[in-house]
Amino acid sequence: MVQVSLLHLWIPILLSAVCVFAASSLIHMVVKWHASDYNGLSNEDEVRAAIRKGNPAPGQYVLPRCGDMKDMEKPEMQEKYKEGPVAFLVVAPTGVPAVGGALGKWFVFSVLVAFMAAYLASRTLAPGTHYLQVFRVVGTTSFLAYGFGSIPMAIWMGKPWKSAIKDLADALIYGLLSGGVFGWLWPR
């Protein structure tokens, strides 16, 4: 089988990343259907003060912290879990969030997903492959890359399943867009 060179796919790679970036912007800034995914605490100021007092470095934290799985059997650790809260906490650097930097990283990630989908398609599909077959391969690959990271977050980190399902819906939209762009621009 004649393989497609990745050099011939740079336009669909970039265009699919732009389409995903635009769709994501609409989903998060116009439709705002993820706004309900994040709850506030009724005692937010007290919690903020307690965290600030501990001065944690940016990173991931868990409450209660169990250093070894053997400690889970200890009555005092089981009591901590029973009395709660059980939480996973991400502490970001102090200051106004750098939205521009995050958007830039999101675009680079979208280019990376498109590149990996292009790589897989270029190794499995020949030039002139029918639109629908290109759509299937690239769309499925993109859907998996954009969406399936939310499932382990729901399983292990307590992310609400409703939120993970919304992430999968986003990923489906991104996969459909990516598959459509590649199917349209696939080398003949």
Residue 150, classified by CB atoms within 10 Å of its CB into exposed (0-12), middle (13-18) or buried (19+), is: buried
Concatenating the DSSP letter of every residue in 45-100 gives HHHHHHHHHH-PPSEEEEES--SSGGGGGSHHHHHHHHHS--EEEEEPPSSS--HH
Residues 141 and 154: their CA atoms lie apart, in Å, by 21
Q: 0.85 exceeded by the pTM?
A: yes
127 and 143 part of one domain: yes
Q: What are phi and psi of 170, to 5 degrees?
A: -55, -50
Residue 71 lies in a domain: yes
The residue-averaged pLDDT of 70-82 equals 93
**100 contact partners, CB below 8 Å, separation of at least 6:** none
For residue 72, the enclosing domain spans 44-91
Number of structural domains (the chain) is 2
pLDDT confidence of residue 54 = 95
Q: For the segment 64-74, what is each residue's pLDDT rounded down to a tens digit? A: 999 899 999 99
126 and 155 part of one domain: yes
Report the first-to-last Cα separation within the chain, whole angstroms.
Answer: 14
Residue 101 lies in a domain: yes
> Among the three residues 72, 91, 110, which one is the final residue of a domain in this structure?
91
111 and 178 part of one domain: yes
Residue 1 lies in a domain: no
> Among the three residues 59, 75, 91, which one is the final residue of a domain in this structure?
91
Residues 15, 108: contact at Cβ < 8 Å?
A: no
Q: For the segment 141-185, what is each residue's pLDDT rounded down to a tens digit? A: 999 999 999 999 999 999 999 999 999 999 999 999 999 999 999
112 and 160 part of one domain: yes
21 and 106 part of one domain: yes
Residues 106 and 21: their CA atoms lie apart, in Å, by 8
Q: Residues 59, 63, 65, 70: what is their CA dihedral angle, to the nearest 10 degrees?
A: -130
57 and 84 part of one domain: yes
